[in-house]
Structures are given as structure tokens and as C-alpha cells.
Amino acid sequence: MDSVSERITETGVVPVIKLTNPERDAAPLARALLAGGVPVAEVTFRAEGAAKAIAIMTETCPEMLVGAGTVLTTEQVDEAVAAGARFIVTPGLDPEIVTYCQKKGLPVFPGCTTPTDYHTAFKLGLKVLKFFPAEQSGGLAKIKAMSAPFPMFRIMPTGGISLKNLAEYMACPVVCACGGSYMVSSDLIEGGRWDEITELCRKSREIVKEARKNG
């Protein structure tokens, strides 16, 4: 497992962030995440200005591990890397993007939910997969079932994760971390409710630690 994957695994949660006003929100958000013990962030390219948000977050908090999510093209990979992104997350498994990232030595976590996805990921030499959308694709039961023929993968479920089911996911040995937007929702960001974001991060980290201890 590469160092980026190790840091993500150590943290256990990856906030999935959509910023509509990065100039205003990126810096205080980065500080709020760090204060809550979450030095990892995935900034989605679903919003314009994602690259700007990545740049501001990495400049404000150099110790943060910031990646780009919802990456659909190699051009977006280049844009994200130029902004300071340390990893790439894609919603589906695109071999072209995966191999492009691999040639750059850039960790990439593609969305995979089917045996065909997993088999292709195996051929591509991947170690960590995003399971997306997690809850809508069968959730933990499917993740466990898929791990039988494909025990070599560590899984990062994203989609439908919350404080209510985080412990259940994190207790599963094949799950290395969970992605989620519940701690960085648009309401919290737009309202500048940084203390609440910090508290949600703290609660999430506590849940991760407890689940791993008891799992």
C-alpha cells in the first residue's frame, strides 16, 4: 500500500467536498477539518473552481492530504495535480485514467461495484478501490460478498455513509476508510459553521477508532 493510501487508512474517513465559493470557504474549511483530526479531503470536480479549492486548501494547510474527486478526464487529472492534488478519485473504473495516473506515480481510487470492475482493477494492479455508490449498490453485504473472490483489495465505500452506519462499515476488515459528505454538507459550509464541521470530524474519528478496536 502506498503512503497516501496508508494515511487515508490511518484517518479512516475522507470528507467529500463540493465548494461553490472556494475563495471564501476553502481555507476555513481546511482548518476546521484539521482541528477535528481529519487531515484528508477529496474535493469534487462536480463544482467549478475545484482546482482553486485544492490549491487554497494545500496552501493554507500544507500538512493536509488533498485529492480530487469525480475526475472524468485526463485533462482534469492534470488540472488537479497542478493545483496540488495528491490523489485522484473517479466515480467509475476508466482504465485510461487509471493508467494515466499510474504513469505519473499518482494514487488513483476508481469507483467499482461489480465483479467485472474488480477483475479489471486486479489486472490494472490496483490495491484500493472506491465502492460507489455504496448504499445504493448493496452496501456492506455486497462488499463482504465481493471480498470472497477478490480478497486482495481494500475498499473505500462512499455514498450513503453517515454517523449512523460508519461504525458498521469500519468494523469490516476489508474497509480501509469511508468517504462521505455528511461532515461537510452544503448547509454547514454555506453557513460558515466551522465548529460543527470540526465536531462531526471528531465524532467520526472516535467512531473509527472504536470500530477498529472492537472489530
The CATH number of residue 99's host domain is: 3.20.20.70
What confidence tier does 20 reach under pLDDT thresholds 50, 70, 90? Answer: very high
**Mean of all residue pLDDT scores within the chain:** 97
Q: State residue 114's pLDDT score.
A: 98
pTM: 0.97
For this structure, is 42 an active site residue? yes
Q: State residue 139's pLDDT score.
A: 98
Number of compact structural domains in the chain: 1
Residue 90 and residue 104: Cα distance in Å, rounded?
Answer: 16
Confidence check: pLDDT of 63 > 80:
yes
Q: How far is CA 146 from CA 109, 141, 149, in A?
A: 17, 9, 6
- Predicted confidence (pLDDT) per residue in 175-192, tens digit: 999 999 999 999 999 999
Residue 124 and residue 78: Cα distance in Å, rounded?
Answer: 20
- Predicted confidence (pLDDT) per residue in 86-126, tens digit: 999 999 999 999 999 999 999 999 999 999 999 999 999 99
Q: State residue 214's pLDDT score.
A: 85
Please say whether the dihedral angle defined by the alpha carbons of residues 105, 79, 41 and 99, taken in this order, is positive or negative: negative
3-state secondary structure of 84: coil
Confidence check: pLDDT of 1 > 80:
no
Residue 80 and residue 51: Cα distance in Å, rounded?
Answer: 6
Spot the catalytic one: 130, 135, 168, 206.
130
Spot the catalytic one: 10, 23, 42, 203.
42
Q: With CA atoms as reference, report the closest residue to 148 among 123, 111, 173.
A: 173
Cell of 188: 454547514
Considering the chain, what percentage of its residues have pLDDT values greater than 70?
100
Residue span of the structural domain in which 104 resides? 3-214
For this structure, is 130 an active site residue? yes
The whole-number average pLDDT for the span 133-159 is 98
